């Protein structure tokens, strides 16, 4: 029986996260003071060039103890698969070349609740509903044409209620811009009930993920807008019972990895 080492798209996320965070900190250090959307030059002449160059939007907004808003998110999710010993040792899988995972696209809608702890530190909770999709590909040996493989695919979708519990480390505000790092954890509960005849690939109804990311806040005259890139790493096995499916006996553990882009309005 042949086995292959599967390199999934998101197996490289660890290195990518480190590079992104380093780039974020560099941007915080080198961003020129006052660089931001919505900044306007003062037309008054004859005054010091170091004063009154820009309009300072929402000057007292960050002094509020509690802040609220909403978010829209787009994400790509993929399963991270660990093979079981049976996959390499059992004759049941002699005809199975590999089990591959592929990413799926989803989206999220939610609310923002932000508690100001200090000038540079916040506690944030963002309850949201996420619509997820994951892909699985089963590659089989083709006895008739050994140089070609046979493949069957299936998609696994679910709707989850997630409650991210996060902490933000913010940079000094420069004009109408501020960068930040964010991290925490997210418990998630499946919200979509499924009838037995609809279940093709069974997964667990609860998940827990670790979150890390960064964002850029832009202050406008009437609101604050912040695009945020966040990486999520599931820590709990999502593989369900699937007692009637022999193919799942080749899987020991199935966890989730997600990359999300959030558009936040406050």
pLDDT at 227: 97
Q: Answer whether residue 115 is part of any domain.
A: yes
| C-alpha torsion angle, residues 242, 4, 256, 253 (rounded to 10) | 50
pLDDT at 10: 39
**Domain count of the chain?**
1
Alpha-helical regions (H) of 5-122: 13-30, 85-89
Residue 5: which of 68, 77, 88, 63 has the closest Cα? 88
CA distances from 207 to 9, 121, 204, 233, 238 (A): 21, 27, 7, 10, 7
Q: Give the model's confidence band at 147: pLDDT under 50 very low, under 70 low, under 90 confident, else very high.
A: confident
Cβ atoms 86, 93 nearer than 8 A: yes
CATH number for position 16: 2.40.160.20
Cβ atoms 97, 141 nearer than 8 A: yes
Encode pLDDT of 223-234 as tens digits: 999 999 999 999
Q: How far apart are CA 263 and CA 225, in angstroms?
A: 7
Encode pLDDT of 171-200 as tens digits: 999 999 999 999 999 999 998 665 555 557
Q: How far apart are CA 185 and CA 211, in angstroms?
A: 5
Average pLDDT of the segment spanning 244-248: 83
Cβ atoms 28, 176 nearer than 8 A: no
Q: How far apart are CA 254 and CA 235, in angstroms?
A: 9
Q: CA 202, 208, 212: angle at the middle one, nearest 5? A: 130
Q: Answer whether residue 2 is part of any domain.
A: no
Q: Answer whether residue 22 is part of any domain.
A: yes
Q: How many CA atoms lie within 13 A of 62 on its CB side?
A: 20
Q: Answer whether residue 3 is part of any domain.
A: no
Q: Answer whether residue 199 is part of any domain.
A: yes
Q: Answer whether residue 1 is part of any domain.
A: no
Encode pLDDT of 153-167 as tens digits: 999 999 999 999 999
Average pLDDT of the segment spanning 88-98: 85
Q: How far apart are CA 83 and CA 101, in angstroms?
A: 12
Q: Which of 44-48, 83-87, 160-164, 168-172 has the lowest mean pLDDT?
A: 44-48
Q: Answer whether residue 18 is part of any domain.
A: yes
Which three-class secondary structure state does DSSP give residue 13? Answer: helix
The separation between the first and the last C-alpha atoms of the chain, rounded to the nearest angstrom, is 56
Write the CB contacts of 30 (distance below 8 Å, at least 6 apart in sequence): none
CA distances from 174 to 21, 22, 48 (A): 19, 19, 19
**Residue 135, domain extent:** 9-42+49-265
Q: Answer whether residue 214 is part of any domain.
A: yes
Which secondary-structure segment (H or E) carries 161? strand 149-162
Instruction: Bin 205: left if φ > 0, else alpha if -120 < ψ < 50, else beta.
Output: alpha
Q: How far apart are CA 105 and CA 261, in angstroms?
A: 12
Is the per-residue pLDDT at 30 higher than 80? no
Encode pLDDT of 94-131 as tens digits: 888 899 999 999 999 999 999 999 999 999 999 999 99
């Amino acid at each position: 029986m042949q086995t292959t080492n599967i390199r999934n798209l998101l197996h490289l996320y660890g290195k990518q996260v480190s590079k992104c965070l380093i780039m974020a900190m560099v941007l915080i250090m080198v961003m020129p003071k006052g660089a931001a959307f919505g900044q306007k030059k003062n037309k008054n002449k004859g005054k010091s060039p170091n004063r009154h160059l820009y309009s300072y939007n929402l000057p007292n907004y960050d002094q509020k103890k509690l802040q609220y808003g909403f978010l829209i998110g787009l994400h790509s999710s993929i399963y991270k698969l660990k093979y079981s010993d049976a996959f390499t040792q059992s004759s049941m899988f002699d005809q199975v070349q590999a089990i591959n995972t592929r990413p799926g696209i989803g989206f999220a809608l939610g609310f923002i609740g932000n508690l100001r702890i200090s000038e540079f530190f916040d506690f944030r909770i963002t309850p949201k509903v996420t619509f997820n999709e994951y892909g699985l590909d089963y590659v089989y040996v083709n006895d008739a044409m050994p140089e070609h493989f046979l493949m069957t695919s299936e998609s696994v979708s679910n709707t989850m209620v997630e409650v991210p519990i996060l902490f933000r480390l913010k940079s000094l505000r420069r004009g109408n811009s501020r960068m930040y790092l964010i991290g925490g954890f997210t418990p998630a509960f499946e919200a979509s009930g499924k009838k037995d005849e609809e279940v093709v690939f069974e997964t667990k109804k609860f998940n827990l993920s670790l979150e890390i990311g960064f964002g850029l806040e832009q202050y406008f005259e009437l609101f604050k807008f912040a695009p945020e890139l966040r990486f999520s790493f599931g820590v709990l096995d999502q593989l369900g019972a699937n007692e009637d499916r022999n193919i799942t006996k080749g899987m020991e553990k199935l966890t989730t990895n997600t990359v999300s882009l959030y558009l936040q309005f406050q």
